[in-house]
Amino acid sequence: MNSHLAPKMELPQRGRVTSSCAECRRRRIRCEGLMTPCRQCVYYQVPHLCHYPPRKQRRNISWRSHNELSDVHAKSQKVIETLFPSFSIDELSSMSRTALVAKAQALLQSSSASSDEKPENDLRDLEPPPERDFSWDEVSNDESQTSRVADDINGLAVSLDSLTSFNASYLGFSSVPTILRVIAHLSPRIRQVVPPSLEASKAPPLLGATPDGSVSVDIDELSLINAYFLHVHPITPMVDEVDFRQRYTEGGVSENQASSWLALFNMVLAMGCFGSETLQFNKHNIVYKRAMSYLSISSLGSGHLYTVQALALYGGYLLHYHNKPNTASAVIGATIRMAVAMGLHRAQMPKHYSDVAQSTTQRSIITRIRTWWSIFCLDTWAASTLGRPGLGYYNPATVLTSPTSSLASLVYGTISLAASEQFCKIATRIHERLVQMPLITPDEITEFDQELLSWQDSLHMFLSNQDHCPPNLRVARGLLRCRFITTRLTLYRPCLLSAALHRKPWSNNLNHHQGKGQKNYVVKCVEIARAGIDTISLDWFPNHILSWNDAWHLFQISLVLVLAAVSDKPGAERERCDEYIMKALALFTPMEPFNANAMQSRRVIQILVRGDYR
C-alpha cells in the first residue's frame, strides 16, 4: 500500500494552530494540512520531516518583563565593566572570542601582579574611612577678620594636624592632602618645621569700605566688561556678548528678569576684575557682594538663563577663589539641575548654522549649548582638585545637546570650549575610574594617557602654537595646558605614591609591565612634572585669573617633585627634581602681586624642602 493512501492519523487538537507543516513552510509551497505526513512531504520523499509545530503565543510586554530585562541588562553591564574596565561595548563587540580571552587574561595578570604587594589596599588607607562623620564650615563671609581654614582642601594651611589627620569633608585619593600625608610619613623631619596648628590667614580688607560698612568706590564698569569678554569669556563662553552689551547700554530688562540680570551683570563685573591685567582686581569684593544681594536660595526657583549663568560663575569661579570648594560643588550641582529643568541638555544646533549674520534665534540656541557644556567643564575642573568625581552628567543616552565641537566656527570662545569639552570627557572618565580603584592597571594608564596626548595633537592651531595664539585666547590656552599636565599627573601619581609608601627606590625599579627599554611609570610622572613647570614658565603673563590658576597647578606639580625627592634621593638627583623645585619657587614670586595664595604656596613648598634637607 502506498504511504499516501495511509489512513488519516488523528492530530492533536491542543497546540496545533498552524495550517501548514514545517517542511512545506520552509519550501514555501502549498500544504493541505490534513494529515501527517502530508502529500507534499510524501511526494518529495521527506515524510520524516513533516510535523506541525505549535505556533508561539504572542505576548505583550509588561512592566514586569521590562523591569526583568532591565535588571538582567544592568547585571550584564556590571559583569562586562568588571572584566573589561575602561572598554566600551562597541570596542568589545568588534573583538573575536580569542581577542576577548587574551584581553581578559592580560588584565587579570596585571591586576594580580599589582595585588601581590597589596598597593591598592595601602593607597585606600590614605583615604578617610567611610564611617567618619564629615562636617565643615564655609559660611563665614567676614572678610575683614582673620579667617580660619575649616577645610584645607588646597593644602595651603599646612600644620601637624593637617598632615596627620583627615580633613573635614571627604577628599579622595587624588587630592593634595594625600600627597602631603605621604611626604610627612616618609620624612619625620618635616614635622619639626611645620607649625603645630593651622596658620590663620588674613583676607585683605574690603577696598573703599566706609565706617558704617557701606562701600563707596568708583568702578569703571565698561573696562571690567571688556576684561571679562577678553580673557574670561573665551574660557567659558556662556554669555551672549551682543545681548549683554545691548542690555547694558539700553538698560532694557523686564521687571521679572531684573534680579536675574543684575545677578549676572555683577558676576560678570567680578570676573572682569579677575580678567584684568592691572591690580584693580581687588575691587572684585565690591561687585561680588553686590551680586550676592541678588542671589539667594530663592534664586534656585528662577528658571531663567541669566540665573543659571550667574550661578555657574559663582560656583565655578568665585567660591573656589574664596576657598569654599564644598559650597561651590553644591552650587554647581544645583546649577546643573536647573539647566536640565530648562532643557539646556537637549538644545540642538541649527541645521543651517552659519557664522555670518546669525539671527537672534541662532544666537539663543548656540548660547544654550555653550552654557550647558561650560557648566559641564566647570564641574569637571573642580572635581579634579577634590579627588572625588563630579556629577558626570555627560551621558550620550540622555544628553542630546550638540557638542561645541560641531559648531564649526572661527569664534575664539567656540574654539576654546570645543577643546575643553573634549578634554573634560576624557578627564571625567579618568576621575571616575580613580575613584573605583586608585592604582589602575598599567594598560589603562597607557590608554588614558594616549587619549590625552591624542587630544593635545588635535588642538586648534591657536591653542597648540604660542606664536599663533591671539591675545583673547592666551589665558584659555594657559589654563588648558595646565589642566592637561595635572590630569596626566593624576594617572601616574598613584604609582609614585605606591613606590613611596613601600620605600622602594623607584629609579632602579623598572616596571615589569612595560616593554623593554621604556621608562617606568614613576619616572614618567617626574618627567611630566618637569614639563609642567616648563609649560607654566612659558605661558604665564601678568593676569589675575591666570596667576590664580597657574599658582594652584604649580603647587600640585611641585608637590610631586618634593615627594619624588623624599622617596628616592639618588633618583631625584638624576631626574633634576631639586633644580625644578627651585625653578617653581622662583615662578611663584612674580605671581604674588596678582594672587595672595601664590605666596602661601611658595611658603608651603619651602617648609617641605627645609624639613627634608635640613
Q: How far apart are CA 361 and CA 374, in angstroms?
A: 20
Longest Cα–Cα distance of the chain, Å, equals 123
Residue 209: φ, ψ to 5°: -75, 135
Q: How far apart are CA 581 and CA 468, in angstroms?
A: 30
CB-based burial, 173-193: b 16+ in 10 Å, e otherwise: bbbbbbbbbbbbeebeebeee
List Cβ neighbours of 503 (8 Å cut-off, separation of 6 or more). 186, 567
Angle between the N-to-C axes of helices 176-186 and 474-501, in degrees from 0 to 180, rounded to the nearest 10 = 40
- State the pLDDT at residue 307: 92
- State the pLDDT at residue 52: 87
Cβ contact 257:308 at 8 Å: no
List Cβ neighbours of 195 (8 Å cut-off, separation of 6 or more). 158, 159, 160
The DSSP string of 247-270 is HHHH----GGGHHHHHHHHHHHHH
Give the Cβ contact number of residue 488 at 10 Å. Answer: 24
201 strand-pairing partners: 147
- State the pLDDT at residue 128: 65
Give the Cβ contact number of residue 229 at 10 Å. Answer: 20
DSSP state of 198: P
Extents of the domains making up the chain = 3-49, 205-350+357-390
- State the pLDDT at residue 452: 95
Exposed/middle/buried for residue 85 (C-beta within 10 Å: 0-12, 13-18, 19+): middle
DSSP state of 400: -
Cβ contact 273:284 at 8 Å: yes
Q: How far apart are CA 302 and CA 26, in angstroms?
A: 65
Instruction: Decide: pTM greater than 0.85.
Output: no
Block means of pLDDT (10 residues each) for the chain, length 614 residues? 45 55 88 85 89 74 72 78 71 77 72 49 62 63 43 58 60 75 77 58 40 54 90 91 88 75 91 75 75 83 88 90 84 90 79 58 84 90 71 51 62 86 89 80 90 93 89 91 93 86 69 45 92 94 88 91 88 89 93 84 84 52
DSSP state of 316: I
| 3-state SS assignment for residue 394 | coil
Q: How far apart are CA 134 and CA 167, in angstroms?
A: 8
DSSP state of 343: T
List Cβ neighbours of 516 (8 Å cut-off, separation of 6 or more). none
- State the pLDDT at residue 583: 95
What does the radius of gyration of the chain's CA atoms come to, in whole angstroms? 31
- State the pLDDT at residue 143: 47
List Cβ neighbours of 203 (8 Å cut-off, separation of 6 or more). 143, 144, 145, 147
